[in-house]
Structure 1
Amino acid sequence: MHEMSLMGGVFEVIEQTLSLHEVKRVLQVKLKVGELTNAEPDALDMAFEAYSKDTICEGAELIIERVPVRAQCRSCQHVFAVKTMFFLCPNCQNTGIEVIQGEELLLESLEVE
């Protein structure tokens, strides 16, 4: 379950961020999770609960926004949504593409008290 290691990285960022501020508790954590991370929302929820236990994040709401895969063709520069794992430019049929969205795991915001 790689979601535990992903959440470990998220909590490192949360701890660094919270160390700069006086916070009583965290109410909400928003994450952007790219589809190519293969992270399952339910598994992320479980990992969040495990990491937040006995911390100021315990009981916080976890909001996960899934980020679809988008790519750009290196040949014609066309930007498009990737619908399947067969990466092919729908404009020129070139296979030389660059993924520009969908690989991220981003702590978007924290709501704190």
Structure 2
Amino acid sequence: MHEMSLMGGVFDVIEQTLTQHQIKRVLQVKLKVGELTNAEPEALNMAFEAYSKDTVCEGAELIVERVPVRGRCQTCHEEFAVVTWLFVCPKCHSGIDVIQGEELLLESLEVE
């Protein structure tokens, strides 16, 4: 379950952020998770609960926004949603660069 290691990285960022402020409690954590991370929202929730135990994040709501995969053609520069796992341009059949869908971002924290 790689979600535990992903959540470990999220909590590193949360802890760095919280040390800069006097926070009593975290109420909500919003993440943006790209489809290519293969992170399952349910497993992320379980990892979040484990990491948040006995911290200011315990009891906070975790909101996971899934980010679809998008690509840009290396030849014609067309941007498009990658709906199949075929990473070629639907217009000219050239190779593509993935421009969205690999991220794991801490979008926001709602705190008290």
Question: Shorter-chain TM-score: which interval?
Answer: over 0.9
Could you say which residue in structure 2 is the equivalent of 1:25?
25
Count of aligned positions: 112
CA displacement at 1:82 relative to structure 2 = 0.2
Could you say which residue in structure 2 is the equivalent of 1:62?
62
Q: Deviations over 1:23-78 (max 9, x none)?
A: 00000000000000000000000000000000000000000000000000000000
* Partner Cα separation in structure 2 for residue 11 and residue 86 of structure 1: 34
Instruction: Give structure 1 stretches of 5+ with no counterpart.
Output: none
Could you say which residue in structure 1 is the equivalent of 2:76?
76
Name the % identity. Answer: 79
CA displacement at 1:93 relative to structure 2 = 1.4
Give TM-score scaled by structure 1 length: 0.98
Give TM-score scaled by structure 2 length: 0.99
- Secondary structure of the equivalent of 2:110? strand
* Partner Cα separation in structure 1 for residue 93 and residue 11 of structure 2: 41
Instruction: Give structure 2 stretches of 5+ with no counterpart.
Output: none
Are 1:97 and 2:96 counterparts? yes
CA displacement at 1:15 relative to structure 2 = 0.1
Could you say which residue in structure 2 is the equivalent of 1:34?
34
Task: Please report the RMSD computed on the Cα atoms of aligned residues, expressed in angstroms.
Answer: 0.4
